[in-house]
Structure 1
Amino acid sequence: MAIASATVFAPVDDATATAKLASQCDVITFENEFVDLPALAQIAEARFYPTLDSLKPLLDKLDQRQFLQRIAVPTPRFLAIDAKQEAEFKDTVLQFGLPAVLKARRHGYDGQGTFILQDSQSDLPQALPNQWLLEEFIPFECELAVMAARAIEGEVVIYPTVETQQEQQVCRRVYVTAFAPAITAQVEAIARRILAELNYVGVMGIEFFLSRDGKVLVNELAPRTHNSGHYSLDACVTSQFEQQLRAVCGLPLGSPQLTSAGAVMVNLLGYETSSSDYAEKRQRLSEIPQAHLYWYGKTSRPGRKLGHVTVLLSNGQDRTEAETIAGTIEQYGRGGKQTADE
């Protein structure tokens, strides 16, 4: 296998630098979706996976919702909304119905650009961009996610369905435990339809709501490896990161099967502004049986993802075991209240 001998260092949306990169490699893939598609489309010699056509319906949340609606995938009710005039904005929100979820159409992540509006007097977020997506608030039973991958020739593999739990709209923990076959069947059918309709190549994270009547609705699509799939590094035959490389390089896809009965992954969120590496806390976490600790080397800020811990489970049917382990991780790693401020 060839090893990179040169590095092109530039902002992710620098098309000139991307053109230079394209002249030095066979395939370019994406770490995130914050890209300038029109500029990238001018780089004739570049081969992108996922293709730019696959990404086009996904970068704006309105386009994403309309795409899902067009292919008959269930999603929350939604409405595009302009926030230029505050009075008109509030009237539109009230007519739509509350509670509701307000999302910036571009560049939102880890709770940024997402607000829950509870009543007609809800304060609007500061520094409003003009374009928003207003969505129906789903009183869900839980939130689900799945990682799915599609190869150049159309082969598809789907990882286990997981439950994700958010705190202040930042993913706190992921449970890889058993779900009813009827639920996983819905999730997998939706994932396959999305990948096929997009002619997608690579790994995609798909987030869902599970309604109280057992129906699955798509929340958001992430055209990349995703935090909810980090458990695959230690709990699956093929990690999501290896799978991404296999897909975009034209290699056979690897098995997504679990290598243990189940797993729990907990994100380690910053609770203060600090340059500490939290060596003592990390040592305690690493001593948990069957624990795999990843530390990202970031400076701590409240709510920032500083690392994660995955613990392999001895019984994937035992949710109590998973919750107990998650509690232990949070006790060892928590120094205070987490808030989302990435």
Structure 2
Amino acid sequence: MKRVGVIGGGQLAWMMADAAEKFGVKLVVQTPSENDPAVSIAQEIVFAAVDDASATKTLANKCDVITFENEFVNLDALSDLAHQGVCFRPRLEALAPLLDKYHQRCYLRDLGLPVPQFFAIEQLKNIKSKVEYLGFPVVLKSRRHGYDGQGTFIIQDFASLEEKLSYETTIQTSNESSFLLEEFIPFDRELAVIAARSVEGKIVTYPVVETQQEQQVCRRVIAPAEITPNQLAEIQAIAHTLLNSLEVVGIFGIELFLTANGKVLVNEIAPRTHNSGHFSLDACETSQFEQHLRAVCGLPLGNSDLQCAAAVMVNLLGYENSHSDYQSQRQQIAKIPQANIHWYGKTESRPGRKLGHVTVLLDNQNRDLAIALAQSIESIWYPR
């Protein structure tokens, strides 16, 4: 039996359970709370923060290979374990240029991949000229630990920028600061693609999807996205360039902008399974979670094609502070034909928290129909 350690015990680890059972894989999870979703499916648990490298050493003693459910780890500390022979997939060198968003931007730019214009914020005196170059609005991003819209701010004027930065506390005396600035992209749509790379270097990409955000949190995913063949080829080429350059083993999520004139830009990279690929659990022969386990266990990659004409995925987000399991809403949503609900078993709801998702399989590819169906689900889920 292959023993796979997973750093992180949220829903992304929890959704590996079916594939682990299919392949006879033992999942050992490092996570801080007994209430985390993956606790219910793991064969063993190491209760510790995901950036606790001493706990990861304990995890390594129980596993053949270690992978990541999230990227909030201490690479410097983990590198000592890698030098001792611990196998990480993806390798730590693949994560290194991605965890800091400024370094990620630089890496993508240096690969020749299309990205928005960006600057690091280093000194107060340099900011004004950079903002004048970009023009308002600008996007201010935390360089580390931002996700689900956290740490990303759209700034309309210089006074708001000064207020948000709170220069006294965020402009450091070191050579690096906590934030980067980048140009605001008035995109037509946001897109994403999940790509996997095997131990042998084979790459498989999933259908490119359209993602729809509200308050910078993903609300809906439509698969496949309505894009041109040239745009599809460009996105697939971006995925191949990135994964081969990093020599990745495992799944990556790549978020993109599509501008009004049809230009594709890379937004952010997630070095793990990703919310934009959840539709694959029900709509594809090989889900992103099975594909990730296939890759990290050295198995051949599976077929990533859609097994239906199209699909729409809707995130079920918390909208209140509660301990409800929302059975009534879930039962109503379950009555929708070809609807598949995945409930993460979290014991606490709070605004914006991902509690579950629902994927509906569609008999034809119709963006308007998919959006209407998503809105119907949301009308059941969210209070009027």
Determine if the TM-score, normalized by the shorter chain, exceeds 0.5: yes
Structure 1 residue 7: Cα displacement: 2.7
Residues 88 and 73 of structure 1, relative CA distance in 2, 3 Å threshold = closer
Residue by residue over 1:209-260, the C-alpha shift from the partner in whole angstroms, topping out at 9 and shown as x without a partner, is 0011111100000000000000000000000000110001100001100010
Q: Matches of 1:46 and 1:226 in 2, distance apart?
A: 25
Aligned-partner residue type, residue 244 of structure 1: H
Residues 17 and 61 of structure 1, relative CA distance in 2, 3 Å threshold = same
Q: Matches of 1:126 and 1:90 in 2, distance apart?
A: 13
Aligned-partner residue type, residue 121 of structure 1: A
**Residue 201 (structure 2) aligns with:** 154
The answer on 1:113 being equivalent to 2:151 is yes
Out of 125, 129, 154, the position equivalent to 2:164 is 125
**Kept in 2: contact 1:100–1:136 (CA 8 A):** yes
Structure 1 residue 133: Cα displacement: 0.9
Aligned-partner residue type, residue 262 of structure 2: G
**Residue 252 (structure 1) aligns with:** 300
Q: Matches of 2:25 and 2:149 in 1, distance apart?
A: 39
The answer on 1:67 being equivalent to 2:104 is no
Q: Matches of 1:175 and 1:96 in 2, distance apart?
A: 32
Aligned-partner residue type, residue 125 of structure 1: K
Q: RMSD value over aligned CA atoms?
A: 1.6
Residue by residue over 1:121-166, the C-alpha shift from the partner in whole angstroms, topping out at 9 and shown as x without a partner, is 3253377644211011111110000000000110110000000011
Q: Matches of 2:215 and 2:250 in 1, distance apart?
A: 30
**Residue 55 (structure 1) aligns with:** 95
Aligned-partner residue type, residue 91 of structure 2: T
Residues 274 and 146 of structure 1, relative CA distance in 2, 3 Å threshold = same
The answer on 1:315 being equivalent to 2:354 is no
The answer on 1:41 being equivalent to 2:79 is yes
**Kept in 2: contact 1:23–1:45 (CA 8 A):** no
Aligned-partner residue type, residue 265 of structure 1: M
**Residue 339 (structure 1) aligns with:** none
Aligned-partner residue type, residue 135 of structure 1: E
Name the stretch that deviates more: 115-124 or 100-109.
Answer: 115-124
**Residue 291 (structure 1) aligns with:** 339
Q: Matches of 1:296 and 1:155 in 2, distance apart?
A: 32
**Kept in 2: contact 1:286–1:293 (CA 8 A):** yes
**Kept in 1: contact 2:256–2:268 (CA 8 A):** yes
The answer for unaligned runs of 5 or more in structure 1 is 337-342
**Kept in 1: contact 2:284–2:307 (CA 8 A):** yes
Partner SS, residue 125 of structure 1: helix
**Kept in 1: contact 2:193–2:254 (CA 8 A):** yes
Q: How many residues align?
A: 333
Aligned-partner residue type, residue 234 of structure 1: D
Partner SS, residue 48 of structure 2: coil
TM, length-normalised to structure 1:
0.93
**Residue 302 (structure 1) aligns with:** 351
Structure 1 residue 6: Cα displacement: 3.5
Residue by residue over 1:63-114, the C-alpha shift from the partner in whole angstroms, topping out at 9 and shown as x without a partner, is 101100111000000000037x5x8645643454211100000000011110
Q: Matches of 2:44 and 2:380 in 1, distance apart?
A: 41
Q: Matches of 1:89 and 1:2 in 2, distance apart?
A: 51
Partner SS, residue 370 of structure 2: helix
**Residue 241 (structure 1) aligns with:** 289
The answer on 1:163 being equivalent to 2:210 is yes
TM, length-normalised to structure 2:
0.83
**Residue 340 (structure 1) aligns with:** none
**Residue 189 (structure 1) aligns with:** 237
What percentage of aligned pairs have identical amino acids? 58
**Residue 76 (structure 1) aligns with:** 116
The answer for unaligned runs of 5 or more in structure 2 is 1-23, 28-42, 172-177
Aligned-partner residue type, residue 306 of structure 1: L
Structure 1 residue 170: Cα displacement: 0.3
Q: Matches of 2:25 and 2:217 in 1, distance apart?
A: 37
Structure 1 residue 264: Cα displacement: 0.3
**Residue 11 (structure 2) aligns with:** none
Aligned-partner residue type, residue 76 of structure 1: P
